Structure 1
Amino acid sequence: MSAPSAGPLVGIRIIEFVGLGPAPFAAMQFADMGADVIRIARPGAVPTLPDPISGRGRPTVEADLKNPADAEQVRRLLDRADALIEGFRPGVMERLGLGPEPLLARNPRLVYGRMTGWGQTGPLASHAGHDINYIAISGALAAIGPADRPMPPLNLVGDFGGGSMFLVSGMLAALLSAQRTGQGQVVDAAICDGTVQLLTMAYDMDAAGQWRSQRDANLLDGGAPYYSAYECADGRFIAIGPIEPQFFELFRKAVGLEEDNHTLRADPGNWPALRERIAARMRTRSSNQWLAELEYSDACVSPVLDMKEAVVHPHLVARNSFVELDGFVQPAPAPRFSGTPTEARPRPRETLALADALEGWDTRP
C-alpha cells in the first residue's frame, strides 16, 4: 500500500466505514486532496449503489466488525488514524464497540466524523430518511420547482451540498484544532442542518422583505423572467441570468426587446408580460444562433447541457474539469491548489488485507 504523494492533505490518515452517498463522497474529497484513506467494508458486501467514481483513490479492507479479532485490528488502525468517517444510524457504531468514547480514549486526537440525515439527536434521529425528506423539513424543497408542485433537485442540495461538504469542512476544522490542541472530537454532520445553512441567502432575502413563499415567484427560483431557461427554435434550452441592469441592457439589445425600465422590470407584477416577450424572442432562433452571439458576453447566457454534453464544453475542457480514470470520464478534483495540486487516483482493484493495512500504517511519519 503506497501513500498519496500529492495534495494539501498528504500525511493525513482517515478510516472510512463504507456506507451510502454522502459519506463516500466526503471520503473521495479527502482522498483527492492527498489524504491516505482506507475503506472498511463487510466481507462479501454487495454495494447498494455503484460507486466506481466516488470510491476512487483509496483501497478497501474487508472486516467483520462483529468478529472480535477483526474489530480489534480495526481499532489498531484507528489508533494510527487522524480521522474516521461513518454514515450509519445513531447507535450502530456504539453497538459495535466503535463509538467515539472508547476510540477517543485510545486515540485522543481522533476526529470522529458522523454523516447522517437527521443528526445524532432529535426526535427523527433514529428513523429512516432520504435526501427528499431532509430538504423537505429544511424549507428548501418547498422553494424549488414550478408553482404547482415542489421538484426534487436530484440529491445535490441535501446529500452532497448540505451533507458531504459540511462533513468535509467540519472535519477539516476539527483536524486543525486537533493539530493545535492534541484533542480530537466528534463532528455531527446532519444533512438537515447543512441544508438549513445553504438557505442563508434566502433567509437574508426574507428578512429584507424580498422573499415570497410561493414557488416560481422569486428572483432566483425561476420566477424572475430574466433568471430562467427558455426554449429556442430548435427545441433546446438556454439559461439566462442578466440580473443587474447593465447586463440586462446587453441582453435586451441583443435579442431585440424594446426599451425596458429597470424599475418596471424589478416589479413582480410586470414579470408575466416580460416573460412572454422574452420567450417569443427566444423562439425566433436556434440555441446555437443565440449562443454564438451571447454566450461569450456579459449578457449572462449559457446553454443548458446534459452531463455528456458538459464534458465537451470548451470552458470545462480548458479547465480540465473532467478526467478519464479507470475507464470512466469523471469529475476532476476541486478546488484547485497552486502549491499542493490535487490528483484523482485510480481505485485499487484488489481488496487489501487487514494485516497489510496495519503494516502500512505501523509507523507514523
Structure 2
Amino acid sequence: MAGMVLADFGAEVVRIDRPDSNGSVTPDVLARGKRSIAVDPKTPSGYKVVLKLVEQADVLIDPFRPGVMERLKLGPEVFLGNSFSNPKGANEKLIYARLAGFSRTGGCSFMKRPHKDMAGHDLNYLAVSGVLSMFPGEGKPEFPLNLLADFGGGGLVCVLGILLGLIDRSRSGLGQVVNTDMVTGLRYLATWPLLLSHLRLPVFGDTRATGLLDGGCPFYNIYTCADGQWVSVGCLEPQFFRLFVEHFLKALPQDLAIDGWRLTADNQHDRDSWPRMKKLLEKGFQLRPRDYWTEVFHG
C-alpha cells in the first residue's frame, strides 16, 4: 500500500521480488504504478544488484519482521552508517522506512508482553491495540476486513513518516530510519474513539454496542432489505433524523408498529425506546428492496 500511494503521487517505485523455483515473481495486487525486478539478495550477484539500487534511491521500504534485513546485510547501518563499525554509509540521504506489525521495541504501555518478533495479521494487531473490543457485533466484536491495521495504521502512516523524513532531509541533508508499526499506527488513528470511550461519553456505551457510534444506535446502523441487500442509516443530527423518519414512514403501511409502539422524530434520544426503534426499522426495511429505498431517500 505505501509504495502504491507514493507511485500514485508521482514517485518512481521499484519492487524487489525474489524469484521462486519456476522463475515467476510474487504477485502484487497493489502494483499500480510500480516497476519490479526479480532478484535473490542471498546470492552474491543478487546482493550487488540490490545494494546498487538502494545506493541510488531516496527511500527504502522494509516490510519484514525485525532482523530480516540485517541478516541480508541490508540493514540501516549499511546505508546510513554508524559511529562504530561503519562510520560512512553507502547512501546517507536514504529514508529507511521500516513497517512491521508489532512495535520493534518489543512492547509499549498498552502491550503487557513483548511482541516484536511475533508474526501476526490485521486481526491480531486490532486485538493488541485495544480497538477491536470497541467494534459492534452479536455476542462478539466483528472486524472490518484488513483495512484498519494493514492499510490505515500501517501503510498510510508509513507514507506519512516517509514524507516527514524527506522534509527533514531537505533541511539536514541526511536520511534517517522511519519506524512504523501497525499496532501503534492503529492506536494513533483510534485516538478519538479511545479517548471518548475512556471518558465514558455517550458516543460509546458503558458496554460494547450500546452507544451512538458502536452499533447500539438504531439511526446509525445497517439494515437488510427485502431483496437481501443492505442500506446504511446515519442521521445523528436531529434535523436529519426528522427528515429520515418523515420519508421512511411515508413509504410504509400506516399501521406499522412494534407492540403498539410507533416511531416519531421525538423518539431519537430516548434510549429506552432504541430497542423498539431498531426492531421497527428492521421490519420496515425488510418490506421493500434496496432500489426502492434508494428512490425514497434520493429520488
| TM-score > 0.5 by shorter chain | yes
Kindly state the Cα deviation for residue 279 of structure 1 after the two structures are TM-superposed. Answer: 2.0
| Worse-matched range after superposition: 214-223 or 242-251 | 214-223
Query: Is 1:259 aligned to 2:264, yes or no?
Result: yes
Aligned to 1:160: 151
- TM-score, length of structure 2 as denominator length: 0.83
Aligned to 1:120: 104
Query: Is 1:33 aligned to 2:9, yes or no?
Result: yes
Please list, as runs of the form range in 1=range in 2, the aligned pairs for 1:170-185 lying within 5 A after superposition.
170-185=161-176
Aligned to 2:276: 273
- Bigger relative contact order, structure 1 or 2 (CA pairs below 8 A, ≥6 apart): 1
Kindly state the Cα deviation for residue 267 of structure 1 after the two structures are TM-superposed. Answer: 4.3
Aligned to 2:193: 202
Identity %: 40
State the structure with more CA Rg: 2
1:76 to 52, 64, 83: 52
Mapped partners of 2:290, 2:66: distance in 1: 50
Are the aligned partners of 2:125 and 2:183 in contact in 1 as well (CA < 8 Å)? yes
Are the aligned partners of 1:219 and 1:227 in contact in 2 as well (CA < 8 Å)? yes
Kindly state the Cα deviation for residue 281 of structure 1 after the two structures are TM-superposed. Answer: 2.3
Kindly state the Cα deviation for residue 241 of structure 1 after the two structures are TM-superposed. Answer: 0.2
Are the aligned partners of 1:113 and 1:188 in contact in 2 as well (CA < 8 Å)? yes
Kindly state the Cα deviation for residue 213 of structure 1 after the two structures are TM-superposed. Answer: 5.4
Mapped partners of 2:187, 2:38: distance in 1: 36
Aligned to 2:84: none
Query: Is 1:231 aligned to 2:224, yes or no?
Result: yes
Are the aligned partners of 2:122 and 2:146 in contact in 1 as well (CA < 8 Å)? yes
Are the aligned partners of 1:147 and 1:214 in contact in 2 as well (CA < 8 Å)? no
Q: Is the partner of 2:268 in helix, strand or coil?
A: helix
Aligned to 1:311: none
- TM-score, length of structure 1 as denominator length: 0.69
Q: Which amino acid aligns with 2:264?
A: E
Query: Is 1:139 aligned to 2:115, yes or no?
Result: no
Number of residues of Structure 1 aligned to a counterpart in Structure 2: 268
Aligned to 1:219: 212
Mapped partners of 1:189, 1:213: distance in 2: 32
Kindly state the Cα deviation for residue 212 of structure 1 after the two structures are TM-superposed. Answer: 2.9
Closer/same/farther in 2, CA of residues 27 and 248 from structure 1, 3 Å limit: same
1:225-283 Cα offsets, whole Å, 9 max, x none, are 0011112233321111001111101101111264332xx52343331011122222223
